[in-house]
Amino acid sequence: MSIVYKNKWLNIKKKNNYYFVDENLDQVVIIPYVNKSFILVKQFRPTLNKNTIEFPAGSFNKNIESPKRAGIRELFEETGIKIKNIHRLKKIKKLSINPQRNTKLPYIFYVKVNKKELLTIRSKSNKEIITVLFIKTNNLLRLIKKGSIISSFMNGILFSFLLIKKKIIIKY
């Protein structure tokens, strides 16, 4: 195996005639929810040259912070919601973003946001986030069906969450 390209974010490696991406940082995604609604962010993705709707997520260095702390940080940076008790985050089994080319399996957590925390939501939190969205489960499923949510990874995360939380009834 050889590295054919390297920068501070990723390495492109070659094994025989097969190329794949090895990200230098780990990834974390957090699913914030309240009853039958989710908090998502709308942001511009240069790779697609369009806006996407996603759960708060980002990268972190495991040598500096834990996956749960990174999830709490990303949630705050992208939405303004501050979770104080790290033990409220519940883990979902890891899913691959792209098993064909990526080696990392992001950490995925969910957290039930309370009414007091909801009051801290910002409509726009940083230069990357266009807006913070509060979307009911049924409307989120309609957006997926309509093709407005294009990340298969985000759809997989939502599906995994809904399987765990069977109490959230799906009617759309």
Mean pLDDT, all residues of the chain: 88
Q: Among 18-22, 50-54, 150-154, 167-171, where is mean pLDDT lowest?
A: 167-171
Q: Are 110 and 30 in contact (CB under 8 A)?
A: yes
Interval 1-19: pLDDT, tens:
898 999 988 889 988 888 8
Q: How far apart are CA 161 and CA 67, in angstroms?
A: 18
Using a cut of 0.75, tell me whether the model's pTM lies above it.
yes
pLDDT of residue 166: 72
Residues forming beta bridges with residue 132, ordered by sequence position: 41
Contact 39, 63 (CB under 8 A): no
The yes-or-no verdict on residue 109 having pLDDT over 80 is: yes
Cα distances (Å, whole numbers) of residue 109 to 2, 30, 49, 50, 168: 33, 5, 28, 26, 17
Q: Which CATH architecture has domain 25-164?
A: Alpha-Beta Complex (3.90)
Q: What is the pLDDT of residues 47-106, one digit of tens each?
A: 889 999 999 999 999 899 999 999 999 999 999 999 999 999 999 998 888 888 878 889
pLDDT at 172 over 50: no
Beta carbons of 37 and 112 less than 8 angstroms apart: no
Domain assignments of the chain as residue spans, ordered by start: 25-164
